[in-house]
Structure 1
Amino acid sequence: MEERKFRTIPILISLLLSGFIGMFSETALNVALSDLMKVLDITPSTAQWLTTAYLLTLGILVPISGLLLQWFTTRQLFVAALCLSILGTFLAAISPTFGFLLTARVVQAMGTALLLPLMFNTILVIIAPEKRGAAMGMIGLVIMVAPAIGPTIAGLLIENLSWHWIFWLSLPFLIIALFFGIIYMQNVTKVTKPSIDIMSIVLSSIGFGGIVYGFSSAGEAEGWSNPKVIISLVAGVIALGLFVFRQLSMKQPMINLRAFKYPMFVVGLLMVLICMMVILSAMLILPMYLQQGQNYSAFKAGLLLLPGGLINGLMSPLMGRLFDKYGPKWLVIPGLVIIAVSLWFFSSITATSTVIFVIVLHSALMIGVSMVFMPAQTNGINQLPMELYPDGTAIMNTLQQVAGAIGTALAVSIMTAGSKSYLSGVEDPQNPVHLLAAFTQGVQNAFIFGMIIAFAGLILSFFIKRVIIQHKSQTSMH
């Protein structure tokens, strides 16, 4: 009865289209960074802020999203998210200066921060548990294909037009999604207006914000010994500890941490975080290796990584259907084996590695990720009772941003440390031959780090069990 009331397809289209553009603009700008440094006359560590500020905004706002989902209707949040995205994208498209562009990125990220949890939560409410894998597979398609084609399309636009066009291209799609949503979006959640605890919001913002900022700064140029990095990490950890303590002692917490009582939710969450660290560090290091180690243009580097990204996106709905049929175990364990083996091969990469070697390994890595990410995530959320959905999705989405920041920061610092230790052992460190060899060693070390994380995930994956949904009667009563 309940399902017939929802126009599922139009709701899905408006959510997925806007989610796609949100994810696209998150990675499309990465390829444009070297171009922006020249045009806006900024240093690499300043340019990095365009990505860091985006992640930071998500890290601060996504935890609050669970609360917003209970305060505002689905329609109100959807329209607000898209208006922010449209405003941010328009401002970015007309940006004359770096400061202007940075502000535009923050406004864009505010839109994405509202949209991601809304997308997950709406799908959990409107789709029956036994069909959920396939629906989450469609989300996977969006979340994975957008970042994959982002760099390629951005590379094309930069070579032929200018970086402004990355944003002009996104604008019409966001406007279409907004109109579509205004016509078809329905309110799927109950507005309960729980009390707002300002202290919780402050603690979560300092906590998640401090950790994302600290790791991002460490990964850029500052290094781990910089006081700015140490202070923000320490402040972040202390604030997070206080936040957790406060949530556990409140009657109506901002994020209900009781979701952690469900073992499969915790296992699923850890799997998602491991995937996130692997994907984001690989997405950062591979383009660098292709551009610096192999001297490819931004467009060419984007093209080489396109097959892997597309395969991952296309595999996602298939994995969703397999998950609905067979459960997570037979997907997650082989998936992690594929990830670990691919990263092991990647750790032998050199400046003379062939294009085929890179494409095949990257594609294998992405297939592995598609086998782990979505099944582990859906299985984990399936174990939660319906009233914990907003909290479960807020926890997963927040920690994904944090894991992404941590993964990229660790990968970059391991890469830098590897290069430095190589150069300290040679007689003529400025020799281009040595510089290339040092860079290669750094890249290899970063991949070994990824492989170690994947092995940890593999050990954990033996504990994953299929969740049998017990709250069907409850769902039909809602």
Structure 2
Amino acid sequence: MSIYIIGYVLISIVLLLTVNFIAVRANRRKQWEEQDHISERATGHPYESNELIDATLEDTAVSEPALEYVTSAAEKRQEESSLQTIKKVKQDEPIPVGRILTVLMLGAFIAILNQTLLNVAIPHIMNDLNVSATTVQWVSTGYMLVNGVCIPITAYLIERFGTRTLFIAAMFLFTAGAVICSISTSFGLLMVGRVVQAAGAGIIMPLMMTVFLTVFPIEKRGQAMGTMGIAMLFAPALGPTLSGYIVEHYSWRLLFDIIIPFGVIDLIIAFAWMKDVIQKSNPKFDFAGFLFSTIGFGSLLYGFSEAGSEGWTSAIVLSTIIIGLISLAAFTWRELTTDKPMLNLRVFKYDVFALTTVISMIINMAMFAAMILLPIYLQNIRGFTPLESGLLLLPGAIIMGIMSPISGALFDRIGARPLAIIGLTITVITTWEFSHLSTDTTYGHILFMYVSRMFGMSFLMMTVMTAGMNQLPRHLNSHGTATSNTMRQVAGSLGTAFLVTIFSNRQEFHTADYANVVTTSNPIVSEKISALGQGLAQVAGLPSTAGNSLGVQVIYGTAAKQAAIDGINDAFIVATGIAFVALILSFFIKRVIPSGK
């Protein structure tokens, strides 16, 4: 299969180069035609060739030095005039917004989808590549770390290389990483591919947000960002369903195979359609800021990711979090004192941006409660297959995909505060309902509550973020998107670690509590074990002593399941409190009209 994939990739590359060559030739021909047309507009007569100028000058009685001077001066004036006119005409040319958004949306969708595809496939990767559970988690952890480190430097990269070059480079890295993962026969090669993928994916989302904020006027940003929400919100929920089906019927490598053709297609149309929408500059690279940022965010994200399994008192968790906090303090000091910061943290002086960033972080933490805890409940406790648990999440994703542009249009009309209040009220209520799960909770009830929760969430993510970004001047858009995405990444990691810790600790507490009650010395429990054992012995055709042993296992297993469910319910109670804090803060969101400068 890998041979076919390599051949497919080579064919795709040849096709890409061929299409690019044709597009470049066509673009040059078009530029030559435009230059002739522009020259005619600038001079009032058709473009004159050098031969005509030479013939005209030869008819005049001038010396050869004078002839060279006049010819040189004429050519120089003509070139300057043409360049100025070309610049003016190009400024008047409309930006192909539809084409640019198509390129960006496709790239962002597959990049975000890729993040959630592997969660279900991790057990299969572990068995296929013969690695431990601790080792295989680096497939997700390493991706998250590289992604989190790349996001803060996107503002510098956008200003340095422009949107077109940067997107093509990011998409190439992402697709190349998918190819490496697809053909990997060892865990080390798989990790190389994931790191390369993460380097590209970490750039795509902030880049897309910056382009959206640049090409759309203030009054249309809500609907535009709502459209972008389709990629941000629909892809993560589609991932578990798609990966659940694939790993049940095919190899986990197919998860990367399906990404490759879309990446190649996006690269091809990016070469043809993607344009620079932001004026490039030559900012000085802040190496010290980059170093502090890499160590700070990398250490902090790693510490949070390990806290869920190792515990908050673990030496590795405490040391990495402390190193991360110290490095981030140095990074903050550096960015606030340098004239040309890599990431301009002065965006936080804008009150609405600061408030909405905090609300977005809290929403992200609460959202991860359902994304992390529900699969544990459905698969580990209730025994649903990955595909069944994924299908439960799919209707909610469809609702978010439908509602995201609608909520964006409503944002343009009424602002963020009413939408945030409505959305967070629904989120608080439905999150509270999820804290009442049991072994008898029906699949339909869980589906209804999850769809309702996603309906409320569809009013939140993009509208709250857009409200904050609208306050920033245009020249801070790239810094605002990089900062916002970085904070959301940290909040997601922190929320996951925090809620998993709550779940684990409360599960242990409830297990110990049930252990004091569910014992053979308890006459009620002993009677139930005896009755259950007799029934199991009759069904299985076993002696009564063996039936009693099975009865004990069933009772203790039921108690362990109930302890896990109680731990999940307690984590959802905490998530409800987190969402309620965001609801209170949403009342303070103001509607601002920026200068747009």
TM-score range, shorter chain: over 0.9
2:322 paired with 1:197: no
Encode CA deviations 1:138-160: one digit per residue, 9 max, x unaligned: 11011111111111111111111
- Report the alpha carbon displacement of residue 293 of structure 1 after superposing the two structures with TM: 1.4
Equivalent residue for 1:307, pick from 395, 401, 406: 395
2:57 paired with 1:57: no
Match of 2:176 among 87, 93, 106: 87
> Deviation at 1:4?
5.4
Q: Identity, % of aligned pairs?
A: 39
1:354 alignment partner AA: T
Give 1:274's aligned residue. 362
Residue number in structure 2 paired with 1:32:
121
Q: Residues of 2 paired with 1:167 and 1:70: CA distance?
A: 31
Cα distance in 2 between the residues matched to 1:131 and 1:3 = 21
Amino acid at match of 1:456: V
Q: Which of 442, 454, 465 is residue 567 of structure 2 equivalent to? A: 442
In the alignment, the residues of structure 2 paired with residue 98 and residue 177 of structure 1 have an alpha-carbon distance, to the nearest angstrom, of 28
Deviation at 1:423, TM superposition (A): 1.4
Match of 2:259 in 1: 170
CA distance in 2, matches of 1:115, 1:373: 18
1:314-335 CA distances to partner (integer Å, 9 max, x unpaired)? 2111100000111111100111
CA-based RMSD of the aligned residues comes to 1.5
2-side partners of 1:175 and 1:411: how far apart?
38
Q: Which amino acid counterpart does residue 160 of structure 1 have in structure 2?
A: H
Superposed displacement of residue 336, structure 1: 0.7
1:23 & 1:95 partners in 2: Cα distance? Answer: 21
Contact 1:271 1:373 in 2 (8 A): no
Q: In the TM superposition, what are the counterparts of 1:271-420 in structure 2 within 5 Å?
A: 271-420=359-508
Aligned to 2:302: 213
Alpha-carbon separation, structure 2, partners of 1:300 and 1:3: 53
TM-score normalised by the chain length of structure 2: 0.77
Pick closer, same or farther for the CA change 1:241–1:133 going to 2, 3 Å. same
Distance 2:408 2:451 in 1: 19
Residues 291-346 of structure 1: CA deviation (Å, up to 9, x unaligned): 01110011111001111122112211110000011111110011111111111100
Residue 5 of structure 1: SS of its match in structure 2? coil
Confirm or deny: 8 A CA contact 1:137 1:318 kept in the other structure: yes
> Which is greater in Rg?
2
Matched to 2:572, the amino acid is F
> Does the 8 A contact of 2:423 with 2:459 survive in 1?
yes
Q: Kindly state the Cα deviation for residue 2 of structure 1 after the two structures are TM-superposed.
A: 6.5
Map of 1:459 onto structure 2: 584
Aligned residues: 471
Give, in whole Å, the separation in 2 of the partners of 1:305 and 1:52: 23
Q: Is 2:329 aligned against 1:241?
A: yes
What's the offset of the Cα at 1:94? Answer: 1.2
Aligned amino acid, residue 448 of structure 1: I
CA contact (8 A) 1:58 1:398 kept: no
Contact persistence 1:383–1:469 (CA under 8 A): yes
Which letter maps to 1:339? T
For 1:10, give the aligned amino acid.
Answer: R
> Deviation at 1:72?
0.5
Assess, with a 3 A threshold, how the Cα gap between structure 1 residues 4 and 339 changes in structure 2: closer, same or farther: farther
Deviation at 1:280, TM superposition (A): 2.3
User: What CA deviation, in whole Å up to 9, does each residue of 1:2-40 have, x standing for no partner?
Assistant: 685210001000100010000111001111122222222
Q: By how many angstroms is 1:448 displaced?
A: 1.0
* Amino acid paired to 1:415: F
**Contact preservation (8 Å) 2:286, 2:342:** yes
How far, CA to CA, are the matches of 1:222 and 1:46 in structure 2?
Answer: 14
* Cα distance in 2 for residues equivalent to 1:181 and 1:329: 36
Q: Is the 8 A contact 1:31 1:151 kept in 2?
A: yes
Q: Give 1:43 deviation, angstroms.
A: 3.2
| Paired residue type of 1:107 | V
1:46 aligned onto 2:135: yes
- Deviation track 1:430-461 (CA, whole Å, cap 9, x = no partner) reads 82112101110111111111111101101101
Q: Pick closer, same or farther for the CA change 1:263–1:252 going to 2, 3 Å.
A: same
Residues 387 and 409 (structure 1), Cα distance of their counterparts in 2 relative to 1, 3 Å cut: same
Conserved? CA contact 1:210–1:232, under 8 Å: yes
Give the C-alpha shift of residue 361 in structure 1.
1.1
Give yes or no for contact 1:214–1:229 (8 Å, CA) kept in 2. yes
**CA distance in structure 1 between the partners assigned to 2:224 and 2:135 by the alignment:** 39
**Unaligned residue ranges in structure 1 (runs of 5+):** none
Kindly provide the amino acid, as one letter, of the partner of residue 245 in structure 1: W
Q: Determine which structure has greater relative contact order: mean sequence separation of CA pairs < 8 Å that are 6+ residues apart, divided by chain length.
A: 1
Q: TM-score, normalised by structure 1?
A: 0.96
